[in-house]
Structure 1
Amino acid sequence: MSPTFLALLVAHLLGEFVLRRDPPSRPEGAPIPLLLHAALVTALSALLLGTLNAWLLGSLLLVHSLSDASRSHLLPRGPRSFLGEQGVRLALLAGLAWSFPGAWETGLWGSQLTGDALRTYAQVLVVTAGILATVPAAGVVIGLLLEPLTRELEEEQSPAGGLRNGGRYIGWLERGLVLILYLSGQASGIGFVLATKSILRFGEIKDSEHRKLAEFILIGTFLSFALALSGGLLTEWALGAIRAD
């Protein structure tokens, strides 16, 4: 597992899904905000790699600027476009990591950390990437996938009196908890989390007049748990690849 790619991946996830002010699925189209965001991700990459390699950082700035511009002006809104653009961006980051194999070794952290310390830093990057992909990034994907169903819900079936962004935070907490349970070897506890949420959410909508809302919540819940388990599997695999190196 390339430490260079891990650093670029964490910088991308931080800039895209945590530090971004406009919605990741439809970034602001003005040139200045797009360039500022690309510059932020590039700066984060330089920090995590501990490098000032001009060719690598310039390429990163170009990749993120073009990707944001294409998503803002050319690609239609929707899960396919968003996932496709993210896939292309990750492939480009992997290509940059392959093109600049010495960026990590010649950087500040790669030259200072050795042995167990280097492996620990790589493991921290893997876990951080897993958390960012499973919690905020998966939330954006779920929102896009459920958007057609959200429009289908009738106004009177929408839950009333809820906290603003309460559903988002519930999703973050449940996927984070599922990831923690899985990585800590307590996968059996995931069923308890699912049962607890089912009791809390479905007790108030058990009558037939809320059928659509109940189905919407079921779909969102299972989708959230599926992405959380997938994130746990990928994180576990990446940690194993680092231990094997």
Structure 2
Amino acid sequence: MLGAILLVLIGSADLARSGISSTLGRVVAIVIAWLAVILLATLGLGIAVWWVAIPVLLAVAWLATTTTSIDRRTAPGIVPAVGVLLSLLAFLVWDRTSLGMSGFIVDWHAGVVSAVISSLSLAALAVAVGVTLFAVESANLVVRAALRPATAASKPVIMPGSRSPWWKRTAAPALAVADLRGGRLIGPVERVLIIALTLAGALPIVAGLIAAKGIVRFPEISNDGAGGSKAEYFLVGSLVSWAIAVAGAGLIWITVAG
């Protein structure tokens, strides 16, 4: 359950960061969303506050080391995504908070009319929500970090005499990369479809979806210059995006099965 809470916290925060222009509005939206998640976890599921504090601290670390800005990157690069992955694996091994839960959400689940919802555990439902939220915007940050490896041109800019901590330093603009139009919108839809179709066992449709994307992008890639930046951009970005979707589907399946 802690893994689901972590994904919900990160996913909701990144949606607020990408969808709200003002800094104050972002902070207010994130605080409200996180308070709602904490209250639902503690009062609705009966999880102790000190357990909920673990994913909250990890989500804060994610916010401190990532950015939703399209043309900038932070110094840690892909490290925050690796940290989230390791955290999820650790939660799968030793997290037992889903056992013996009690609260109004547990009571609602026990009396729910829908046979589909009642057949799934609360942990599986929470993981599904968390994976979906992460796949919408947070996965875009991971893909963007993978497409922009650390270089001398993207190291943090430190003004002379600056004593600001490393997590507040702003990275220099990322190196120019050929941008395939619509990728930021296509990616979330594609990932959600792959997750849903994979869980439904429609693997041939997933293969067709992946093939269709390559066909649609082929004219744009075939017109690429000698550098081949668009082809590399498409391949790396697509592979990372698909890997996130498959991993998300796998996490949901493991939670449902076990």
Paired residue for 1:174? 190
Deviation at 1:109, TM superposition (A): 1.9
Q: Between the two proteins, what is the percent identity of the paired residues?
A: 21
Pairwise CA RMSD: 4.2
Deviation at 1:67, TM superposition (A): 3.1
Paired residue for 1:185? 201
TM-score, normalised by the number of residues in structure 2 = 0.64
C-alpha spacing 1:83/1:128, structure 2 compared with 1 (3 Å): same
- Whole-angstrom distance in 1 between the partners of 2:121 and 2:99: 20
C-alpha spacing 1:190/1:168, structure 2 compared with 1 (3 Å): same
> How does 1:1-245 map onto structure 2 within 5 Å?
4-5=1-2, 8-21=5-18, 37-38=30-31, 40-51=33-44, 56=49, 60=53, 63=57, 67=61, 71=65, 77-83=75-81, 86=84, 104-105=101-102, 107-111=103-107, 113-114=109-110, 117=118, 119-148=120-149, 151=175, 153=177, 162=181, 166-207=182-223, 209=225, 211-241=228-258
Deviation at 1:38, TM superposition (A): 4.7
Number of residues of Structure 1 aligned to a counterpart in Structure 2: 219
Q: Deviations over 1:77-123 (max 9, x none)?
A: 33344235545876898899658976x32x22234543884845443
Which consecutive residues of structure 2, in runs of 5 or more, have no partner in the other structure?
67-73, 151-173
- Whole-angstrom distance in 1 between the partners of 2:51 and 2:254: 31
More helix, by proportion: 1
- Whole-angstrom distance in 2 between the partners of 1:68 and 1:35: 18
C-alpha spacing 1:182/1:205, structure 2 compared with 1 (3 Å): same
Deviation at 1:223, TM superposition (A): 2.1
- Whole-angstrom distance in 1 between the partners of 2:94 and 2:39: 13
Give the residue type in structure 1 aligned to 2:81: L
Q: Deviations over 1:143-199 (max 9, x none)?
A: 11112497254xxx555xx4xxx2111111111111121111101112211111111
C-alpha spacing 1:84/1:68, structure 2 compared with 1 (3 Å): same
Confirm or deny: 8 A CA contact 1:34 1:68 kept in the other structure: no
Please identify, of 128-137 and 54-63, the stretch whose mean Cα deviation from structure 2 is larger: 54-63
- Whole-angstrom distance in 2 between the partners of 1:53 and 1:158: 46
Match of 1:209, SS state, is: coil
C-alpha spacing 1:195/1:111, structure 2 compared with 1 (3 Å): closer
C-alpha spacing 1:204/1:183, structure 2 compared with 1 (3 Å): same
Give the residue type in structure 2 aligned to 1:19: A
Confirm or deny: 8 A CA contact 1:35 1:65 kept in the other structure: no
Please identify, of 43-52 and 218-227, the stretch whose mean Cα deviation from structure 2 is larger: 43-52
Match of 1:19, SS state, is: helix
Match of 2:148, SS state, is: helix
TM-score, normalised by the number of residues in structure 1 = 0.66
Which consecutive residues of structure 1, in runs of 5 or more, have no partner in the other structure?
none
C-alpha spacing 1:19/1:96, structure 2 compared with 1 (3 Å): farther
C-alpha spacing 1:35/1:87, structure 2 compared with 1 (3 Å): farther
